[in-house]
Structure 1
Amino acid sequence: MSHSARGIDAVGAAVLAMSRHLQVQDVLQTIVASARELLGAEYGALGVPDDHGGFAQFVVDGVDEEQWKAIGPLPRQHGILAGMLRGTASQRLADVREDPRFEGWPAAHPELSDFLGVPVVDGDEVLGALFLANKKCPGTGGPPDGGQGRGPARECGFTEEDEALLRTLAAHAAIALTNARLYERSRELSIVEERTRIARELHDAVSQKLFSLRLTAQAASALVDREPQRAKDELRRVAALAAEAADELRTVVVELRPATLEEEGLAATLRTQIQVLDRVHSARVSFTAHAVRALPAAQEEALLRVAQESLHNALRHADATAVEVTLAARGRGAVLRVADDGRGFDPAAVRGAGRRLGLVSMSDRAAAVGGSLTVQSEPGRGTVVEMEVPGG
């Protein structure tokens, strides 16, 4: 196989590795590691600029954690890095220290000599600067001067072919980085949507308690002269309602935070949200989890959204007095079950009911992650929604 063919295969493998990640930080780290391995460099880095002359994110490969901490603060946008962030030109240097733009580095910083850098570009926007340094010489496992970069300009430095490969990788990196940013943005929008939904639930509950509080206080005021004992009873009721309202307001503060699916996992996130619903609704809402292993992120997201939609239907449309949610392992995957004792509906009329209850969107969510959705219901006999995913 020719050197070019091997390079194309290596780029393909690197692109595949990038596509497996959806978080921006993971994508950045994969880009740098793939580039460093692809071109046989000792060091690699990728910086994403901020709007204040520094870097919002800066990842490195080839430097251990202890050395990275010793280097100190993130670099500023100056010298050669600034040049890559202000245009689309590559930077291929035999010795970066001899470039007039070189401004030195911290004492703990590794010595760099031969240098190859390209901007990561999306249209007219420069997303970041990707660079490699100290190409390892064939047959030596490292630079000819032992990795210190103090020897003469090396014959095994970066080539035009290296530059072309890195530019190709940077073009794919721009796509992967843009996709990861869009994914994170979509999650942020989902979080906002979820916070709005919880806020609406809590607002309704608090409004009801405050309305009851006002009526009870008015009743106590009317009874205070002619029936003092009943007035005292009503005032005790006022105190109880006020305490409940205060609890709900505290819930607003505690629960209106970003969704914790990534940090805490599906079971913990469901448990937290169901506890909130149990507090703000007169219906009893319970949750049980049985030995569920971590699932692919997309599957956990779909299960959470189906659970939320099913709970909303049970509590808002079905007038349920009890809703039981269970999450259990099934093979390598999991099954979610949401059962309520509400009014139910006729599956034969599923077209109208399906649109109103979001059954079509729930089914689509399940299918999109390789899962299945079943709905059992009967007028006056409640509804059971069950979603199964295969796991990963």
Structure 2
Amino acid sequence: MSDAQLSRGQIERLLEVGRTLVSELDLEVLLSQVIEAARDLTGARYAALGVLDSDKQGLERFVYLGIDEETRRRIGPLPQGRGVLGELISHPEPLRLDEVSAHPRSYGFPAGHPDMRTFLGVPITVRGEAWGNLYLTEKAGGQPFEEVDERLVTVLAEWAAVAVENARLHGGLERRQAELERAVRGLETSAALARAGAAGMEADRLGRLIAKRGRDLVRARRFLLLLPEGEGLSVAAAAGEGAPLELEGTRISPEEPMLAEALRNPTPRGFAVGERAELSLGGLGVGAKAALLAPLDFRSGERGLLVALDPLAGARFETDDERLFESFAASAVTTLSTARAAEAEKLRLALDASEQERRRWARELHDETLQELGALQVIVEAMGDAGVPARAGELLQRAADHIDRGVKNLEGLITELRPATLDELGVGPAVGTLVDRVGEISGLAIEAELELEHERREPAERLAAELESAIYRLVQEGLNNVVKHASAAAVYLRIVEEDGVVEVTVRDDGDGFDPASAGGGFGLVGMRERVALVGGSLAIDSEPGRGTELRAELPSRLGRQASGPPPPAGGQSSER
């Protein structure tokens, strides 16, 4: 074909289209421009572009022009590359037909499809590989497509191939740039957490930093940090729109469907719902259209969750967000674990210092004050036996009674501070003495069941001092609460060691209370801290009018100490 066969308008339009296509870097826009140009150049009524699938056996996309949406709905599913359309897939070379139905591979059109007779198909080849096909039907005036039309569309297909390659390269560069930006954001976030952890930031402040940084990282409207507390989860930190600080401390059940599913998965899990539905988070009053949850796996075996709600852009979180979130979760759990370990060590040192101070005061009160009172009691009794006048004898007897009460009160205080039995004989005898004393003073009926496996062995063994102290203080605080707050008549105490676990139960028949509203009252904070330090768990079961049950499980294999009294600095003599 010579240039004379092309109209001036066609040549100018072809050049214009070429310039436009090679400068367009958005693939979606490019596809629309190609089929519009093909229809304009040839005068076809209908135009389409089919993009081949990865196997080059069918069409994965089909972009069309000339058919309205109502007709499109009547036709049904888009073409997959069968019939005449499939001929260009099998044989990627231009195909012109004056009558589509006459082609051997034609098997008609679906119901509702417009009549189409004339046809022109041209393949689009990118870097020598079939990429897609241009399809044109129904040339204006009912005329068949001519060779000039084929040449025009062939040149257009070549322009389109160059433009597609440019768009793909540009898209790849944009994706790599976006990936690099995400990686930089992730590194900056991880570095910020690492710096905060290294600086010794408190766990509460660190949690808020994690929530703020996590929200910024995945560009979410709201963000929650859920950490294990007892048998459930608690909101440790909240950030963003509609996530007020008042949410912090709110408990939530891990059985909530979305949370339960996320906790079962080892990697981040995305959720999305329809326009009129909302994801719910267990009555927190925080709803969302989309959510991204990542588990936090602590070395203790506990699991928390990072929860991002509603992306700032788009209807749902993308796969790239999930990968970024997974890396962030690993940094967050490492930083949190380090901070919690540091705080636990501080608490352990503080409790150890407290126990040492208790020992010192108990020893000094016993060795000095109690001994002085004992000597004074002996003197008063001797004076009463020395034949003094009756009035003086009465006064001496009253003095002796006061001294005796003072001695007993001081002995009780010494036992409260640090019982010698705990250091010298172990937790079993110490708890037994405590039960006798509390029952005598309060009048409570205390039924005690003590079965400590290590004490029955030959030779007898001792639990680690830290564990013995935790058990004793737990029972002591539990009994004190019953005496002070429960108005109970009876208490059941059970301490059983079995299969490497010490189970401690203190149950009363008193007034009961609401654990959720107790906060840090009744010594609950101190009990939880002691139990957590030895790797145990604590549960409080109570409600008004139904009594209270305190249950703790503590691992007994924390190391053993030899049976017998501790070194001289560890306690006081039991003799008075």
Larger Rg belongs to: 2
Among 152, 156, 159, which residue is 1:169 paired with?
A: 156
In the alignment, does 2:171 pair up with 1:184?
yes
Whether the aligned pair in 2 keeps the contact of 1:48 and 1:55 (CA below 8 Å) is yes
Cα distance between partner residues in 1 of 2:170 and 2:207? 42
Partner residue, 1:25: 28
* Separation (CA, whole Å) in 2 of partners of 1:123 and 1:51: 15
- Residue 73 of structure 1 and its aligned partner are, at CA, apart by 2.1
User: Alpha carbons of 1:250 and 1:210: their partners in 2 closer, same or farther (altered >3 Å)?
Assistant: farther
In the alignment, is residue 98 of structure 1 matched against residue 98 of structure 2? no
Partner of 2:86: 82
Question: 1:88 deviation in Å?
Answer: 3.2
Aligned-partner residue type, residue 49 of structure 1 = L
CA contact (8 A) 1:94 1:114 kept: yes
Instruction: Measure the CA separation in 2 of the matches of 1:252 and 1:197.
Output: 10
Aligned residues: 217
CA drift of 1:197 comes to 1.1
Match for 1:62 among 56, 59, 66?
66
CA distance in 1, matches of 2:90, 2:162: 19
Distance between the aligned counterparts of 2:12 and 2:208, measured in 1? 67
CA contact (8 A) 1:84 1:129 kept: yes
Indicate the SS of the match to 2:6: helix
Task: Give the one of 45, 48, 57 matched to 2:48.
Answer: 45
1:252 maps onto 2:254 in alignment: no
Amino acid at match of 1:37: D
For residues 106 and 206 of structure 1, do their structure 2 counterparts lie closer, same or farther at Cα, with a shift above 3 Å needed? farther
Displacement of 1:20:
4.2
Q: In 2, Cα distance between the equivalents of 1:51 and 1:103?
A: 25
Map of 1:386 onto structure 2: none
**1:136 correspondence with 2:168:** no
Kept after mapping to 2: 8 A contact 1:210/1:245: no
Q: How far did 1:250 drift?
A: 4.2
SS at match of 1:158: coil
CA distance in 2, matches of 1:20, 1:247: 41
Identity %: 33
Q: For residues 241 and 89 of structure 1, do their structure 2 counterparts lie closer, same or farther at Cα, with a shift above 3 Å needed?
A: closer
Q: For residue 38 of structure 1, what is the amino acid of its counterpart?
A: L
SS in 2 for 1:174: helix
Q: Is the 1:54–1:75 Cα contact (8 Å) retained in structure 2?
A: no
The letter for the 1-side match of 2:19 is L
Match of 1:109 in 2: 113
Letter in 2 for 1:202: T
Q: How far 1:199 moved relative to its partner?
A: 0.8
Any conservation in 2 of the 1:87–1:119 contact (CA below 8 Å)?
A: no
Q: CA deviation at 1:54?
A: 4.2
Does the CA contact (< 8 Å) of 1:206 and 1:249 recur in 2?
no
Distance in 2, Cα, partners of 1:54 & 1:189: 29
Per-residue CA distance 1:188-224 (angstroms, 9 max, x = gap): 1111111111111111111122333xx46xxxxxxxx
Displaced runs of 4+ in structure 1, greater than 6 A?
Answer: none
Aligned to 2:183: 196
CA deviations over 1:29-88 (Å, ceiling 9, x no partner): 111110111011111100111136543322111112332333332211222222212333
Asked whether the 8 Å contact 2:58–2:86 carries over to 1, the reply is no
Is 1:14 the equivalent of 2:1? no
Residues in 1 aligned to 2:82 and 2:121: alpha-carbon distance in whole angstroms: 14
Q: Distance in 2 between matches of 1:245 and 1:9?
A: 60
Given the alignment of the two structures, is residue 205 of structure 1 paired with residue 192 of structure 2, yes or no? yes
* Equivalence map 1:1-392=2 (5 Å): 2-6=4-8, 7-51=10-54, 53-137=57-141, 143=142, 156-212=143-199, 215=200, 237-254=202-219
Give the AA of the match of 2:41. L
State whether residues 22 and 180 of structure 1, in contact with CA within 8 Å, keep that contact through their aligned partners in structure 2.
yes
Amino acid at match of 1:43: Y
Distance (whole Å) between structure 1 residues aligned to residue 170 and residue 113 of structure 2 = 34
Kindly indicate whether the alpha-carbon contact (under 8 Å) linking 1:93 and 1:116 is maintained by their aligned counterparts in 2: yes
TM-score when normalising by structure 2: 0.36
3-state SS, counterpart of residue 120 of structure 1: strand
Aligned mates of 1:176, 1:251 — CA distance in 2: 36
**Aligned 8 A contact 1:86 1:126 in 2:** no
Partner AA of 1:35 in structure 2: A
Judge which range, 93-102 or 57-66, deviates more.
57-66
Distance 1:69 1:54, change over 3 A: farther
Label 1:246 to 1:112 Cα distance change in 2 as closer, same or farther (>3 A): same
**Conserved 8 A contact 2:100-2:117:** yes
Structure 1 contact 209–245 (Cα < 8 Å) conserved: no
Q: Which residue of the partner structure matches residue 230 of structure 1?
A: none
Retained in 2: the 8 A contact 1:44–1:131? Answer: yes
Following superposition, the deviation at residue 12 of structure 1 comes to 1.2
- Whichever residue aligns with residue 239 of structure 1, its letter is D
One-letter amino acid of the counterpart of residue 62, structure 2: F
Q: Is the 8 A contact 1:120 1:129 kept in 2?
A: yes
For 1:200 and 1:245, locate their aligned partners in 2 and report how far apart those are by CA, in whole Å.
Answer: 14
Match of 1:240, SS state, is helix
Contact 2:22/2:159 (<8 A) preserved: no
For CA contacts below 8 A with separation 6 or more, give which structure has more relative contact order: 1
The 2-side partners of 1:20 and 1:62 are apart by 25
Q: Distance in 1 between matches of 2:198 and 2:214?
A: 15
Supply the distance in 2 between the matched residues of 1:57 and 1:135 (Cα, whole angstroms). Answer: 24
- 1:246/1:123 Cα in 2 relative to 1: closer, same or farther (>3 Å)? closer
Give the superposition deviation at 1:126: 0.9
Q: Which string of whole-angstrom CA distances, capped at 9 and with x for unpartnered residues, describes residues 78-104 of structure 1?
A: 222222123332110111112110133
Query: 1:213-245 CA deviation, whole Å, 9 max, x = no partner?
Result: xx46xxxxxxxxxxxxxxxxxxxx432223323
Matched residues in 2 for 1:163 and 1:208: separation? 66
The CA distance in 1 between the partners of 2:127 and 2:173, in whole Å, is 21
Query: RMSD of the TM alignment (CA)?
Result: 2.3
Amino acid corresponding to residue 158 of structure 2 in structure 1: A
